[in-house]
Amino acid sequence: MATLRDAKIGAVVTVKKLNGEGAVKRRIMDMGITKGTEVFVRKVAPLGDPIEVTVRGYELSLRKQAAEMIIVG
């Protein structure tokens, strides 16, 4: 299963599942990343952290650790 961290720059992916527990999962969902949402990967920092994405019309930066919890397809 591919994660958001594996997505290439310029890719549009759809969220299939969120891994994680409790507060971490809730924080990701509060940012608008829920099952079925399309995510556009805008940029990745030179060392790979953070990843900048566009979700629901706004820009968002995610750490690699959070991006690994988001299963995409």
Q: Indicate the pTM of the whole model.
A: 0.85
Residue 52, judged by CB atoms within 10 A of its CB (0-12, 13-18, 19+), counts as middle
The pLDDT, as a whole number, for residue 47 is 84
CB 32 within 8 A of CB 65: no
Q: pLDDT tens, 9-56?
A: 999 999 999 998 889 899 999 989 999 999 999 999 988 789 999 999
CA 25 → CA 40, 59, 62, distances in Å? 20, 19, 13
At 41, the amino acid letter reads V
Structural domains in the chain?
A: 2-72 (2.30.30.90)
The pLDDT, as a whole number, for residue 49 is 86
